[in-house]
Amino acid sequence: MSTERNVLDPLEIAETWYRGGRKVALATVIETWGSAPRPVGSHLVIDDEGNFQGSVSGGCVEGAVIAEAMEIIETGAPKILEFGVADETAWRVGLSCGGRIRVYVERIEG
């Protein structure tokens, strides 16, 4: 019933940023295994200057997602990223909880 919209909502922010002329990518958790900090469907929105809002983990892999997203903003080709303790990259960026996640990153178009 409240008409006030959440100012920290990633999808609202994505629309606002895009409308404001920024290039925007949207990252979404599409699969999780084991204990994962954010549920499937969680969003992170990134612009071409590396500004971001929302989360796909508890801060563990956001840095890597943002770096990939900035490339996707340039190329326009969506990508599925996977992070988990078994993988070298993830070990560095660290999903300390021991879970594994897949994140879909796409550019806002049109």
Q: Under the criterion CB under 8 A, does residue 106 sit at the interface with other proteins?
A: yes
Could you tell me if residue 55 is left (phi over 0), alpha (psi between -120 and 50 degrees) or otherwise beta? beta
27: closest CA among 49, 46, 48?
Answer: 46
- Alpha carbon distance 34, 44 (integer Å): 21
CB-nearer residue toward other proteins: 28 or 55: 28
Q: Under the criterion CB under 8 A, does residue 75 sit at the interface with other proteins?
A: no
Site size with other proteins, rule: CB under 8 A: 24
The footprint of other proteins (CB under 8 A) covers: 1-2, 5, 11-12, 14-15, 18, 26, 28, 30-31, 39-41, 78, 80, 102, 104, 106-110
